[in-house]
Amino acid sequence: MTVLTDTFTTDWETWHAEREAYFAEPHGWVAITALHWLTATPAVFDEFPGRWTAAQGGVLTIEAAAADGLVLPDGDVVDGVATLDPIEGGPGLRVRSGDLILEVARRTAHVIIRVHDPRAPQLAAFTGIPAYAPDARWTVTGRFEAYDAPRTVTTGAVVEGLEHHHSGVGTVTFELAGVAQSLVVFDGGARGLSVLFRDATSGVTTYPAARTLALGPLGDDGSTTLDFNRAANLPCGLTEFATCPVPPAENVLTVAVEAGEQWVR
Domain span at residue 87?
29-124
Residues 138 and 79 in one domain: no
Give this prediction's pTM: 0.90
Same domain, 120 and 157: no
In a domain, 58, yes or no: yes
pLDDT digits (tens, 9 = 90+) for 54-85: 987 679 999 999 999 999 999 999 999 999 99
193-214 tens-digit pLDDT:
999 999 999 999 999 999 999 9
DSSP 86: P
Same domain, 228 and 140: yes
The CB density around residue 168, as the number of other CB atoms within 10 Å, is: 18
Q: What is the tally of structural domains in the chain?
A: 2
Q: Within 10 Å of residue 6's Cβ, how many Cβ atoms?
A: 7
Report the C-alpha gap between 233 and 71 in whole angstroms: 31
Residue 257 belongs to a domain: no
Residue 175 lies in a domain: yes
Cβ neighbors of 10 (< 8 A, separation 6 or more) are none
pLDDT in tens, the chain (265 residues): 444 457 999 999 999 999 999 999 999 999 999 999 999 999 999 999 999 999 876 799 999 999 999 999 999 999 999 999 998 888 899 999 999 999 999 988 899 999 999 999 999 999 999 999 999 999 999 999 999 999 999 999 999 889 999 999 999 999 998 999 999 999 988 889 999 999 999 999 999 999 999 999 999 999 999 999 999 999 999 999 999 999 999 999 989 999 999 999 8
231 and 174 within one domain: yes
The reply to whether 17 and 144 lie within a common domain is yes
Q: Do 73 and 107 fall within a single domain?
A: yes
> β-strands 223-227, 80-84: how paired?
unpaired
Cα dihedral 156→159→161→162 (10° resolution): -60
- 37 and 159 assigned to the same domain: no
